[in-house]
Structure 1
Amino acid sequence: MTEPVIIAVPKGRILEEALPLLAQVGVVPEPAFADESSRALRFKTNRSDIDIIRVRAFDVATFVAHGAAQLGIVGSDVIGEFGYSELYAPVDLGIGHCRLSVAEPADMAAKDDPRGWSHVRIATKYPGLTQAHFEARGVQAECVKLNGAMELAPILGLAPRIVDLVSSGRTLKENGLVEVEVIEQVTSRLIVNRAGFKTRTDKVVPLVDAFRRTVAEAAA
């Protein structure tokens, strides 16, 4: 019996937007998927040939790049940060809209001009994208890698600025920070393992086409 195709989805905000999209494509997770007390990570779906795994957003890219999952849903920020050559991102799903931005304390921003920066110290979980952005501007960036609670870095003196995802901006505001520069706009993409795209064409290609068709219909 052929192993099911595995779709990796991220925990959190993107998942809430991704589930209706999956349903439109014809993939509905088993009821246990909605059980918040469940510790399970792999789930059956209404299709015997498709399983879903629920992991951290950064891990979605890793599972798909290494072929442990054949498809995934993840933000363009994650794709850009890792730069995995094994990933193919054929469909912009038009969900998970946010932006990757530089932020700093409001009192600092009041007298600061990003155009005058020559060296910055920044706390972020996106050191790759951050370095590339500032290198392109001729600015030396010293990145302090954090996996969360970025807003604490300026407050506690770890780094005066942060680079993080911003949606409403509420978290920044509540921690006395303001956006001073947008690095890139972010949306969620369907990603595919390149090898899996070739070796499991009969399963993967129809799924990619279904996602593409669903997104196109929503935009029409």
Structure 2
Amino acid sequence: MNKLTVALPKGRLFDPAVEILEQAGLINRELDDDSRKLVLSDPKEEVDFILSKAVDVQTYVEHGVADFGIAGKDILLEAGATVCEVVDLGLSKCRLVVAIPEERGITEMGQLPPTGRVATKYPNVAKKFFKEQGIQIEVVKLNGSIELAPLIGLTDMIVDITSTGTTLRENNLVEVAEIAKSSARLIVNRVSYKASHQRIKGVIERVKEVVGSN
């Protein structure tokens, strides 16, 4: 049996991700993301688990510290991660969107001026998208309460994730464009994937079966 290392995101994605991996037979011990330990081992299954901030999972997988990981598509896009996305787990579904204050009366990208200031925690995604639209932007990177930025005059618009649109509506923001759809993905280190030994293939197939049956 080849030993595997799996990077798991702490936070709201942790429990549903663990449940899928348990059903796939990869986890055979109690895992708790409140644990002070950041690396947990399952000697029986020959698996180590790295408990990580969600934004760091792809880094561990990309650099080969972990064979597998679970990360949101939004994070993968922002990082430009060179990993293999092998299964869409269907968890934490949301969309990356551009939104502006409703009072401006703009309802689509074509009505935007050629320059603007954008608040986001996804600067790379925002720059790439607006460049493709031929709009020159200045990015203001924020880590929380992105919707506040245009309300207080800090920026003209935002790029952020939304699932139901409720937070946008509550802050009088309207969506003018969808950049990408996002959900949690099972990712694999590229070298591990190319080597593609039987255990890695088996994990991928079992996870696909679990996700397909849910």
TM-score range, shorter chain: 0.7 to 0.9
1:151 corresponding residue in structure 2: 147
* CA distance in structure 1 between the aligned counterparts of 2:30 and 2:21, rounded to whole angstroms: 14
2:63 corresponding residue in structure 1: 66
1:39 corresponding residue in structure 2: 36
User: Size of the alignment, in residue pairs?
Assistant: 213
SS in 2 for 1:95: coil
- TM (normalized to structure 1)? 0.84
Q: Is contact 1:6–1:51 with CA below 8 Å preserved after alignment?
A: yes
Q: List alignment gaps of at least 5 residues for structure 1.
A: none
Deviation at 1:126, TM superposition (A): 1.3
Q: Kindly report the root-mean-square deviation, in angstroms, between the aligned alpha carbons of the 2 structures.
A: 2.5
Select which of 78, 97, 103 maps to 2:99. Answer: 103
1:196 corresponding residue in structure 2: 192
Q: Is contact 2:193–2:200 with CA below 8 Å preserved after alignment?
A: yes
- Mapping for residues 25-174 of structure 1, pairs under 5 Å: 25-28=24-27, 30-31=29-30, 33=32, 36=34, 38-45=35-42, 47-85=44-82, 87-108=83-104, 110-111=105-106, 113-117=108-112, 118-174=114-170
Q: Report % sequence identity.
A: 38
Q: Is contact 2:108–2:177 with CA below 8 Å preserved after alignment?
A: no
Does residue 6 of the first structure (1) align with residue 5 of the second (2)? yes
Q: Is contact 1:29–1:46 with CA below 8 Å preserved after alignment?
A: no
* CA distance in structure 2 between the aligned counterparts of 1:46 and 1:156, rounded to whole angstroms: 53
- TM (normalized to structure 2)? 0.86
SS in 1 for 2:100: strand
* CA distance in structure 2 between the aligned counterparts of 1:113 and 1:206, rounded to whole angstroms: 45
Deviation at 1:25, TM superposition (A): 0.6
Q: Is contact 1:27–1:46 with CA below 8 Å preserved after alignment?
A: no
Instruction: Identify the structure with the greater helix proportion.
Output: 1
Q: List alignment gaps of at least 5 residues for structure 2.
A: none
* CA distance in structure 1 between the aligned counterparts of 2:174 and 2:11, rounded to whole angstroms: 24
Q: Is contact 2:10–2:51 with CA below 8 Å preserved after alignment?
A: yes
